[in-house]
Amino acid sequence: MHQNRFFFGVFLVIILSFLLDKYAYSGIKTIIATWQSDRLKRLVRWGYWTVSLGVTGTMLALPLLGLRNAFSYWMLSIFFTLFVTKLVYTLVLFGEDIYRAIRLMLNTLWGAGAGEGQRATPGRRKFISQLGLALATIPFASALYGMIKGKYDYTVHRHTLFFDDLPAEFDGFTITQISDVHAGTFDNAEAVQRGIDLIKAQQSDLFVFTGDMVNNVADEMQPWLNHFSQLRAPFGQFSVLGNHDYGDYMQWKSEEAKVANLENLKQHHAALGYRLLLDENIILEKNGQKIALLGVENWGDGFVQKGDLEKALTGVDKDSFKILLSHDPSHWQNIVKKHPTHIHLTLAGHTHGMQMGIETPTVKWSPAGLRYAHWAGLAEENLRYLYVNRGFGFLGFTGRVGIWPEITVLELRRKVA
């Protein structure tokens, strides 16, 4: 059902794309109208419609092909790159048309001749068309960069967190977190290995993975087992499931096939050396002092809600220091931060920061903010911390612009009185 809704949305976007094609082409015609070479004009016309209709036609075939390989995601990404580019261009042209319409209406109301209201329109129209094309190259170039380089531009985010009740033996304890691998869309083994090497270089005490190992099918992880099995930490490697790991976004031949796929994925976690936490906990001990690591199945607002926090807390001392792995940050927002048991730190992912946005020392924005109160980085309420990893992989749009793939390193420190 999720997949059907996705492709229905894509179909509506394709319809809109056809309309944008026609409007944007009117601007292209204005630009090339004064060119001397008829051959060059024909080249532009044929090139424009060949690319636009070719990419759109491929999109119409995607429901038959399915989103099951890197080629499908590349075509989807190229389509949306062109769609946004045409949208920006069309908005500029439309703004000019609105201006001309208002000016003509005012000239008519005030008694000026229609010819006077339209004087010098061809020259102005060409300038606006050229301006719109220049502006449209910004999202186009940004998307291309994100697809070619940005999606593998791994960035380490380091944070130090202070707690009054952190056991003294864990003062300085480090955690490396990654999330949202989405192995089915990787297309560059060398680049992925660079990310793995960067994780290994952190030499943290603990490694955690917070869900979405694959897009839909457990076999997507098969080519990458040797890469991610390299990750080791002195206190172990732990993981949880994300919403994509359950196989809910594709049609299965039978319920048994879907269940078998999930079991296969769980075996991949074991083969990687990851202890998969399914609504359970484990105690980490250092020189006689302990902290509790909890992990729940996916619980998301608007997504699968399997996670059982009460079950994960079973047997955990209420006064112990607790770290929770939970894929979707809405779990923290809706459940964890309000829970009577104090959970010191929750590690999540899921949002990818929408894989596009702006992050500077003074500006932090992404479309993900329209959906999630906390979509990337650190949040804190009532001494309960949440960290949302921006994701190691990518999905849908096979690229990243402004929101780069993340490796998180957290250092736990004990507050000095």
Report, as an integer, the average pLDDT of 132-159. Answer: 95
**Which DSSP symbol is given to 279?**
S
Give percent of the chain above pLDDT 90: 71
SS3 assignment, position 358: strand
| pLDDT on residue 65 | 59
Q: Is the pLDDT of residue 274 over 90?
A: yes
What is the rounded CA–CA span in Å between residue 407 and residue 228?
13
| pLDDT on residue 112 | 54
Least confident of 57-61, 120-124, 242-246, 339-343: 120-124
| pLDDT on residue 338 | 94
Contact 266, 276 (CB under 8 A): yes
| pLDDT on residue 23 | 87
Q: Is the pLDDT of residue 237 over 80?
A: yes
Contact 386, 371 (CB under 8 A): no
Q: Is the pLDDT of residue 396 over 90?
A: no
| pLDDT on residue 389 | 98
- The residues with which 207 forms a beta bridge, in sequence order, are 176, 237
Task: Quote the pTM value.
Answer: 0.89
Instruction: Write down the residue that tokens 């109160």 correspond to.
Output: 373
Class of residue 224 by CB neighbours under 10 A (exposed 0-12, middle 13-18, buried 19+): buried
Q: Which residue has the higher pLDDT, 69 or 271?
A: 271
- Which CATH topology does 154-414 take? Purple Acid Phosphatase; chain A, domain 2 (3.60.21)
| pLDDT on residue 75 | 83
Q: Which residues contact 101 (CB under 8 A, 6 or more apart)?
A: none
Q: Which residues contact 411 (CB under 8 A, 6 or more apart)?
A: 158, 159, 160, 161, 172, 173, 174, 175
Would you say how long the chain is, in residues?
Answer: 417
Report, as an integer, the average pLDDT of 267-286. Answer: 98
Average confidence score pLDDT of the chain:
91
Q: Is the pLDDT of residue 114 over 50?
A: no
Q: H or E segment at 44?
A: helix 38-65
Q: Which residue has the higher pLDDT, 36 or 283?
A: 283
Q: Is the pLDDT of residue 123 over 80?
A: no
Q: What are the residue ranges of CATH 3.60.21.10 in the chain?
A: 154-414
Contact 142, 403 (CB under 8 A): no
Q: Is the pLDDT of residue 13 over 90?
A: no
| pLDDT on residue 120 | 46
Least confident of 82-91, 259-268, 324-333, 334-343: 82-91
Contact 167, 289 (CB under 8 A): yes
What is the CB-side half-sphere exposure of residue 46 using CA atoms within 13 A?
6
Quick: pLDDT tens for 56-87: 878 777 666 566 667 778 888 898 899 899 99
| pLDDT on residue 104 | 79
